[in-house]
Amino acid sequence: MSKSHVTVGYIHYPIDLEQKSKADTWAEKLLQLSYGEAKPKKKLKVLINPFGGKGMAPTYYSRYAEPILAAAGCDLDVQTTTHRGHATDIAEKLDINAYDAVVACSGDGLPYEIFNGLAKKPNAREALAKVAVGMIPSGSGNGMAMNLYGSPSVSLAALAIVKGKRMPLDLASITQGDTRTLSFLSQSFGIVAECDLGTDNIRWMGPHRFTYGFLVRLMGKTVWPCDVAVKVEVGDKQAIKDHYRAEVHKEPRLLTDTEVEELPEGLPPLRYGTVNDEIPDDWERLPGETMGNFYAGNMAWMSSDANFFPAALPNDGLLDLVTIDGTIPRLKSLSMLLAVEDGSIFDIPEAHFRKVSAYRLVPKQTEGYISIDGERVPFAPIQVEVHKGLGTVLSVSGKAYEAKGPPGTQT
Ligand SMILES: Nc1ncnc2c1ncn2[C@@H]1O[C@H](COP(=O)(O)OP(=O)(O)OP(=O)(O)O)[C@@H](O)[C@H]1O
């Protein structure tokens, strides 16, 4: 085992027959210590996207993940997705009592589909509480694996899933037109959405396409006018750091089996209505005429080299929102790009961070990009509200993301 890779190894010790019961006790104790509260021998539905990232998911899975899952005695039901939306259909029809988790061997696109498929079930809340989602990172954006397993490594993700603890995860409802979907990772408008979605022509660059796209855009248009109204819950950086310190070590309470079965049908009701309703009076209007970057994150890492939201917590019921004016000097923008990797962007004064429970964003132009979890949605108004701990994931810690918190909060 190294910091970035783990393989299966077998050790044989010949023992006398009369020592067998002692050896069995020893092995049992070792397994107990190794698994802790995590469930051993999980029943997993594995979905492989053969077109995620550079198309390597099937190879990565069979070479680096499957041997680990199989050696750990996981019960594996593997299926390859054949088209866009296939993972949503599979999750919608899934027997939620037959699996502990659905594992996406993909980028962040498949987990998004899986959450939304579970959300389509009549017993959506029960399904989202019962079936955890996990990821074997094999796409171009592997944010989920970075946050939950602390690494973009396929084999380490497999091991983390084997020993993964269930953790409730906030999910956000997005209403747009007459639709309602769920987001687990992020929503973006402005330069990040442009870099994420407007760089398909340079996919061959892999992860570098984002940086390249950013630099190209910085040379050209840098403002994306919009109207923004926000339900602010924690409004300044010091208060966010205090909130982070107070919450990061708390063990979230998982619902009991009986509580899960008694959950009401459907998704939770929307507290603030939809994008077609009046904006509540107590929401704050933010200046949007010269918006450069509007980016809301539910997790810390947005990709393996971008800890954009160092204060994000999995189940505080809040999204971390950063807004950056598009008219700030280009050199300042560049320094922010460099400060994203280690989370130090948090302390840059031009990056405004807030923790919010809901918001509305209305683009003022007719064309452009809005990204939800890296997927393109129509360029039209969206309203977003968070549901605390609605989803479930398999994680290493069971309580927090594998990311350094905002500067100054490390203990
Ligand atoms: N067999 C398939 N053919 C075409 N598209 C598919 C197939 N299976 C899944 N998809 C779609 O591929 C998209 C990307 O998936 P994924 O996140 O795995 O890859 P990625 O390379 O990280 O993402 P992206 O392409 O969004 O950067 C998802 O939206 C999913 O719906």
Look at ligand 1, atom 21, and give the residue with the nearest C-alpha.
53
Q: Give the C-alpha separation, 144 to 49, whole Å.
A: 15
111 lines ligand 1 (CB under 6 A): no
Please enumerate in sequence order all residues whose Cβ is within 8 A of that of 400, keeping only pairs 6 or more positions apart, or say none. Answer: 248, 249, 313, 314
Share of the chain above pLDDT 90, in %: 78
- pLDDT confidence of 203, banded at 50, 70, 90? low
Beta-strand relationship, 101-106 and 186-190:
unpaired
Mutate which of 46, 48, 51 to test ligand 1's pocket (most atoms within 8 Å of Cβ)?
51
pLDDT tens-digit series, residues 204-231: 666 666 676 676 666 666 799 999 999 9
The reported pLDDT for the residue numbered 205 is 64
3-state SS assignment for residue 168: strand
Can you give the residue ranges of every domain in the chain?
Answer: 30-163, 175-251+272-388
Q: Is 85 exposed, middle or buried (0-12, 13-18, 19+ CB in 10 A)?
A: exposed
Please list, in sequence order, all residues whose beta carbon lies within 8 angstroms of the beta carbon of residue 221, skipping any fewer than 6 positions away: none
Average pLDDT score over the chain: 93
With 80 as the cut, is the pLDDT of residue 404 above it?
yes
Residue 129, phi then psi, degrees to nearest 5: -85, -30
pLDDT greater than 80 at residue 349: yes
**Cα maximum dimension of the chain:** 79
In this predicted structure, the answer to whether residue 317 has a pLDDT above a threshold of 80 is yes
Radius of gyration, alpha carbons of the chain: 22
Residue 125 near residue 390 (C-beta atoms within 8 A): yes
Convert 269-283 to b/e letters by CB count within 10 Å (16 or more is b): eeebebbeeebeeeb
Give yes or no for residue 200 CB within 6 A of ligand 1: no
Our mutation pick for probing the ligand 1 site, out of 47, 80, 110, counting the most ligand atoms within 8 A of Cβ, is 110
Cα-to-centroid distance, 323 and ligand 1 (Å): 28
- Residue 265's pLDDT is 95
| Segment 112-129 mean pLDDT | 98
**CA-CA distance, 126 to 390, in Å (whole number)?**
9
Bridging pattern class, strands 375-377 and 382-395:
unpaired
Q: For residue 64, report the distance from its CA to the centre of ligand 1, in Å.
A: 20
Between the CA of 201 and the centroid of ligand 1 the distance, in Å, is: 16
49 in ligand 1 pocket by Cβ < 6 Å?
Answer: yes
Judged against a pLDDT cut of 90, whether residue 102 lies above it is answered with yes
SS3 of 195-223: the string is HHHCCHHHHHHCCHHHHHHHHHHHHCCCC
| CA 110 / ligand 1 centre spacing (Å) | 7
Q: Which of 106, 116, 136 should be mutated for ligand 1, with most atoms under 8 A from CB?
A: 106
Query: Which H/E stretch holds residue 375?
Result: strand 375-377
Q: Give the pLDDT score at 110.
A: 97
Q: Is the pLDDT of residue 299 over 90?
A: yes
Residue 147: pLDDT over 90: yes
Least confident range from 214-218, 301-305, 357-361: namely: 214-218
Residues 190 and 295: their CA atoms lie apart, in Å, by 8
192 pLDDT band, cuts 50/70/90, is confident
Selected catalytic residue, list 100, 108, 170, 325: 108
Any catalytic annotation for residue 108?
yes
237-281 per-position pLDDT tens digit: 999 999 999 999 999 999 999 999 999 999 999 999 999 999 999
46 Cα to the center of ligand 1, angstroms: 15
Does the beta carbon of 86 sit less than 6 angstroms from any atom of ligand 1? yes
Residue 106 Cβ inside 6 Å of ligand 1? The answer reads yes
Closest CA to 385 of 275, 248, 244: 275
Give the pLDDT confidence score for residue 213 in this predicted structure.
67
Average pLDDT over residues 192-199: 82
- What does the pLDDT read at residue 196? 80
CA–CA distances in Å: residue 368 to residues 167, 194, 220, 254, 302:
35, 8, 15, 40, 21
Q: Does any ligand 1 atom lie closer than 6 A to the CB of residue 405?
A: no
CATH class name, domain 175-251+272-388 = mainly beta
| DSSP per position, 3-61 | SS------------GGGHHHHHHHHHHHHHHHHTTSPSS-EEEEEE-TTSTTT-HHHHI
81 Cα distance to chain centroid: 20
Ligand 1 pocket, residue 84 CB under 6 Å: yes
Q: Whose CA is nearest to atom 28 of ligand 1?
A: 109
- Among 136-150, 226-240, 290-304, 327-341, the least confident range: 327-341
Q: Greater confidence, 234 or 219?
A: 234
The confidence score (pLDDT) of residue 398 equals: 95
The confidence score (pLDDT) of residue 206 equals 64
141 Cβ closer than 6 Å to some ligand 1 atom: yes
Q: What is the mean pLDDT of residues 96-112?
A: 97
Instruction: Give the number of the atom of ligand 1 that is nearest the alpha carbon of residue 82.
Output: 1
| Residue with CA closest to ligand 1 atom 2 | 83
50-83 pLDDT tens trace: 998 788 999 999 999 999 999 999 999 999 999 9
User: Which uninterrupted H or E stretch holds 188?
Assistant: strand 186-190
With a 6 Å cutoff on the Cβ, whether 137 touches ligand 1 is: no
- The whole-number pLDDT of residue 10 equals 86
The fold of the 30-163 domain, in CATH, is Rossmann fold (3.40.50)
Mutate to test the pocket of ligand 1, among 56, 82, 84 (most ligand atoms within 8 A of CB): 84
Distance between CA atoms of 21 and 35, rounded to whole angstroms? 21
| Distance in angstroms (rounded) separating the CA atoms of residues 366 and 379 | 7
| 263, 257 Cβ separation under 8 angstroms | no
pLDDT above 80 for 232: yes
**Type of residue found at 152:** P
| Ligand 1 contact, 193 CB (< 6 A) | no
Contact 304, 152 (CB under 8 A): yes
pLDDT at 303: 87
Nearest alpha-carbon partner for 251 in 395, 120, 403, 96:
395
Q: Is it the case that residue 2 has pLDDT exceeding 90? A: no
What SS3 state is found at 165? strand
